[in-house]
Amino acid sequence: KRGSRDETINSARDIWQAAKSQATLAKETYKRVQDLYDNGVASLQKRDEAYAAYESTKYNESAAYQKYKMALGGASSESKIAAKAKESAALGQVNEVESYLKDVKATAPIDGEVSNVLLSGGELSPKGFPVVLMIDLKDSWLKISVPEKYLNEFKVGKEFEGYIPALKKSAKFRVKYLSVMGDFATWKATNNSNTYDMKSYEVEAIPLEELENFRVGMSVLVTIKP
């Protein structure tokens, strides 16, 4: 029997609408890439790829619309087979676009706070490029420079106490790292007859308890007994 059933007409219409939406998305993407190209951010190849994708989706939309018109007017069995193949191809493209849309949502790998937003809405992100920077406030540590004459007080694993002015409290820390080589600092010479610059060593220590509101850049006062 010739002619198209309601299901065939509805299917052809849905394919056309999907192709139309994809063409609209490709057009907007091409415009954004063109703007980036005009500003010297995107390469010519990226601009050409976006334009080719836009042209392809535009032709797909036109073809899907013609198939829809054929369905409205009744189609032969051969045309129905061709329309079915076109439907499968269009649905594949829709699934591809939907997979791209899923990439818009990202899950943070840690429970922390955003320290810096690198990209704004509407900007394109290269593959592997970070969108935001996060800080894990629970993974905090203290970094201090210790003159070499006091280095014996800061061996790896040794504990010491420091006062945090911003929190108005003291806390205990444990040394977890001691730099292998020292840097010259502005310490006074220890021997006036044979002067030399005393080196300082970088020491990293972790708090022995969770410090609420302990943030990056806070000062910690450490008293070294003479």
pLDDT tens string 92-105: 777 766 666 666 66
Phi-psi region of 167 (alpha: psi -120 to 50; beta: other; left: phi over 0): alpha
pLDDT tens string 67-95: 877 777 765 565 567 667 777 777 777 77
Q: Rounded mean pLDDT of 37-56?
A: 82
Long-range pairs, 153-160, Cβ under 8 A, ≥24: 153/224, 153/225, 154/178, 154/201, 154/203, 154/205, 159/208, 160/205, 160/222
pLDDT in the model for residue 216: 85
Average pLDDT, the chain: 79
Cβ burial 67-101 (10 Å sphere, 16+ → b, else e): bbebbeeebeeeebeebeebbeebeeebeeeeeee
Where are the domains positioned within the chain?
A: 6-102, 106-136, 142-207
Of 117-121, 151-155, 191-195, give the lowest mean pLDDT range: 191-195
pLDDT tens string 146-172: 888 888 899 999 999 999 999 999 999
Q: 214: closest CA among 137, 143, 105?
A: 137
- In the chain the first and final C-alpha atoms are separated, in Å, by 103
Q: Rounded mean pLDDT of 54-64?
A: 85
pLDDT in the model for residue 13: 81
Of 5-14, 17-26, 167-176, 205-214, give the lowest mean pLDDT range: 5-14
In this prediction, residue 220 has a pLDDT band, given cuts at 50, 70 and 90, of: very high
Q: What span, in angstroms and rounded, lies between the C-alpha atoms of 189 and 184?
A: 12
Q: 140: closest CA among 221, 203, 209?
A: 209
Contact between residue 203 and residue 178 where contact means Cβ atoms under 8 Å apart: yes
Query: 214: how many CB neighbours lie within 10 A of its CB?
Result: 19
Q: What pairs with residue 207 in β-bridges? A: 173
